[in-house]
A and B are shown apart, each in its own frame.
Chain A
Amino acid sequence: MALAMVTIGETRTITELRVKEEMKKHLQDLGFNVGERVRVVGENPSGLILLLNGARIALNRGLATKISVA
């Protein structure tokens, strides 16, 4: 399912990045790798706040729908 659908407080595993090449690279540099655990810690109309590798990362909802998690 899409990362955008995960409820606050849940931890999921990234399964796929369905974005353009350039963005994919950037996401990987930030630690979004397949198999990585990510936790949704916040949400507002702009998008989500995630915890990933000990860093807090905010991203917009559009991008969060393109990241698949399980």
Chain B
Amino acid sequence: MSYTVALAGNPNCGKTTLFNELTGSKQHVGNWPGVTVDKKEGAYKKNKEINVLDLPGTYSLSPYSAEEIIARDYIVKEKPDAVINIVDGASIERNLYLTVQVLETGIPTVIAMNMMDEVESRGDSIDCEKLSKIFGVPVVPIVARVGKGLEELMKVTGQVAAEKQKPNEIRIYEQNIEEAVEEIMDFLTEGSKDDRRWTAVKLLEGDEIILESLQPEQAKMVQEIVEKLDSQCQGDAEAAIADQRYRYIVQTVGEAVKKAHKGHAETGSSKLDKIMTNRVLALPIFALVMYLLFAATFSENFLFIPGLPSPGVWLAGIVETAWGALTGLVEGGLTAIGASDWALGLALSCMDGVGAVVGFLPLVLVLFLLLSFLEDSGYMARVAFVMDRIFRHFGLSGRSFIPLLMGFGCSVPALMASRTLENDKDRKITMMITPFMSCGAKLPIYMMFAVTMFADGNKTTIVFGIYMIGLLVAVLSAFLLGKIIKGNGVSNFIMELPSYRVPTLKSVLIHAWEKVKGFAVKAGTIIFGSTVLIWLLSNFNFGGMCDMEDSFLASIGNAIKVIFIPLGFADWRASVGIVTGWIAKENIVATFGQLFGGVSDEVVEAVSAGEQALPAITSVFTPAAAWAYMAFNLLCMPCFAAVGAIKREMGSWKWTLRTIGYQMVTAYVVAFIIYHLFGLFY
């Protein structure tokens, strides 16, 4: 017999951490509410019969934003065999509010009392046995982060699912509410008794989704009952229900939880918040954090010390040297076995193409590691709050900050993260500008130009400059789109601030490993495939093998390039680069590596000696055109994977096309301005 067990709980209570521990998956864990926005399935490592399902977090079974609907629908409609309700023991009252509602559904439930390490370090204690007696379900203390208590948890979960063990019926409402519940239950026809009771309670709470699913005459009766109850409860039945739930919880917690501090305790997090969200210090601190993030990734004068390479640049140098040696070996090996000229050409071309990308991997890796450190620390929610006031000036709420910051890593998860924005207009605008946050895959483009075209100047400033252009365009776009797109004004900001946590070495290493693995797969498939295609197209025409200038690719590129005359880079190779960039942005440097010849060896030297890496580029681009080219690739349509994410999240082709159209036009206009403006200076 196999079972499906769903993980349900408040946002940020540790569901995904538990899911990863149970299934060996590596789903995204972060220390802010709303990390998981979709359901994910996996088999329990130690018993493949048990299927575990990770859900987005939710504060109650009355959904507020899009990802909460997913959680509720799964629990009440698809009905797992059992629910593991994860409770953050450190804020137990608030978490039990969802628990009470889960128990009301009558679904077999186990409570996992998580974060017991934090509970203990505060000196509090939770009597799980007593809670278990009160609720009629097993309550198992766990520390998901270190895997403590999980065997016990899964043992009882297996039993509960097998025996379909229902929780106690908890009757916590006053007489008049109970009567109204019974009245509604009487004329609901569908579902078991538990279902009907749950539905009735939700209707009294004013649940629109359920109300709309009723027959018109049923809906009318419900409304009458609700009105009657409203008048009995000082005009607000919903508030009375919430209130009575909380009263029950406070009473329960009083019986089962011993707190070291009465009232509101001052914790380490509160003290840190005084600094991190301080009205004077908050923004300088944020600027410093951002500087460190990017400088550690790509600065050649890290911490403003001349000649000190950042960890990213230092690692990149090593990888490039290694790749250069590997290319030499391949060349030697192929020559030794007497490979034909074309095979040698193909192999070296692919080594150049893929190598151009591999050489920049360390930069991207360092960026991702630091981003994941930020995400795990708890700082993201604070910045979202601090930025709220600033974002309001151009029509967004602070919540948009999280997807936008994630955009510096990869647009795809960033676009998905926008699901947590409950205001439709905010969400659309955020998605339209997220790709303007330069993703990790675009970074190599700037590095390539910086080492080639601007070798004498301050390369770090060039790359920072491009990031700034992206930010500026994003801000102006938000402002402009806010005026054009119809919808409600900016919504209010309310967000739970989690405790600050030091990320575990394990989670940071997992992140790094996932990144390297994902990248290796991408390099071996999409990028390698593209380089083979580029080689074929750039070495053949209808007459067979030919010079690059006469190839298919040159013809295609020459046909496209006229569009870019006003932008200063009317070159077939540059045009091809833009197109391959849509498959994956890493392809741009790969394509340049192939078409402008031998990037890898020379980049190695360039990094160490500050020389030009792809000398051939200078004959095609002027410095102003190089700026325009970088800006165009930063702003134009993102890669297909991101376009797919836009389509999924927008839910319509119309808005997907609008988004792409807006990005294309913006890219063109901005590149045009940059080319002509910078042409005055260079």
Contact = CB atoms under 8 A, between A and B. Distances in A.
A57 B494 contact: yes
A51 B273 CA distance: 12
Interface residues on A, range: 35 or more
B389 A45 contact: yes
Interface string B364-392: 00000000000000000110011111001
Given A21-B206, A31-B94, A45-B389, A55 B264 contact: no
A44 B94 contact: no
A58 B493 CA distance: 8
Interface in A17-66: 17, 19, 21-31, 33-36, 39, 41-47, 49, 51-60, 62-63
Interface of B: 59-60, 62, 64, 90-94, 97, 205-206, 238-239, 242-243, 246, 263-264, 269-270, 273-274, 277-279, 282, 381-382, 385-389, 392, 397-398, 492-498
A25 B492 contact: no
B interface secondary structure, majority: helix
Contacts of B270: 41-42, 51, 56
Contact of B94 (A17, A23, A55, A62): A55
Nearest to B124: A54
Contacts of B495: 57-59
A60 B97 CA distance: 24
A59 B278 contact: no
A41 B205 CA distance: 31
Contacts of A19: 492
A30 B496 CA distance: 9
B64 A25 contact: yes
Contact of A47 (B91, B274, B278, B388): B388
Contacts of B497: 49, 56-58
A54 B494 contact: no
A11 interface: yes
Contacts of A45: 279, 389
B273 A56 contact: yes
Contacts of B397: 60
A26 B91 contact: no
Given A44-B277, A54-B92, A29 B269 contact: no
A31 B92 CA distance: 11
A31 B239 CA distance: 11
Contact of B93 (A26, A54, A57, A58): A54
A19 B238 CA distance: 14
20 contacts: A17-B239, A19-B492, A23-B492, A24-B238, A25-B205, A26-B64, A31-B93, A31-B97, A39-B263, A44-B279, A44-B282, A44-B386, A46-B493, A51-B270, A52-B94, A53-B93, A53-B94, A56-B269, A56-B497, A58-B494
Contacts of A62: 492
Given A29-B60, A30-B494, A57-B494, A42 B277 contact: yes
Contacts of A27: 494
